[in-house]
Amino acid sequence: MGVHVDKFIADTVHLSDDEIGKYFRFLCYAWKLQAKLPSDLKRINQIAKNPNIKKTQYLLDTYFDKTEEGYTNTAQCEEWKYVENVSEKNSKNANLRWDKEKAMPSHMPNNASYSKSNSIIYNNIIDSWNKHIPTSHIKVFNEPRKRLFKSRFKSFFNESYEEWEQFLQRISKIPFLWGNNDRGWKADFNWVLNEINYAKIIEGNYEKDEKKLEPVKEVNNEEIAEKWIKVCNNPSAFMLSQAEKNFQEIRDLYQRKLLTDEQIKVLGVNVR
Asked if 148 contacts 104 with a C-beta cutoff of 8 angstroms, the reply is no
Q: Taking each helix axis from N to C terminus, what angle separates 53-63 and 17-32, rounded to the nearest 10 degrees?
A: 70
State percent of the chain over pLDDT 90.
25
Q: What is the per-residue pLDDT across 53-83, written as a single tens digit (0 to 9) for each?
A: 888 888 888 888 988 888 888 887 877 787 7
Q: What is the per-residue pLDDT across 112-161, written as a single tens digit (0 to 9) for each?
A: 433 333 588 999 999 999 999 998 899 999 999 999 999 999 999 998 99
State percent of the chain over pLDDT 70.
81
Per-domain boundaries in the chain: 5-78, 111-212, 221-267
**Count of residues in the chain:** 272
136 CB neighbour count, 10 Å cutoff: 18
Average pLDDT, the chain: 81
Mean pLDDT, range 167-194, rounded to an integer = 92
| Band of residue 213 on the pLDDT scale cut at 50, 70, 90 | very low
- C-alpha angle 35-36-39 in degrees, rounded to nearest 5: 175
Cα–Cα dist 62/72, whole Å: 11
Range with top average pLDDT, 14-23, 50-59, 75-84, 192-201: 192-201
pLDDT (0 to 100) of residue 70? 85
- C-alpha angle 28-29-32 in degrees, rounded to nearest 5: 90
User: Phi and psi of 66, rounded to 5°?
Assistant: -90, 130
Cα–Cα dist 138/12, whole Å: 71
- Residue at 88: amino acid letter: E
| Band of residue 20 on the pLDDT scale cut at 50, 70, 90 | confident
pLDDT (0 to 100) of residue 215? 52
For the range 7-10, what are the long-range contacts, defined as Cβ-Cβ under 8 Å and sequence gap of 24 or more? 7/75
Report whether pLDDT(217) > 70.
no
Range with top average pLDDT, 30-34, 96-100, 163-167, 233-237: 163-167
Lowest-confidence pick of 102-116, 169-183, 193-207: 102-116
The pTM for the full model equals: 0.37
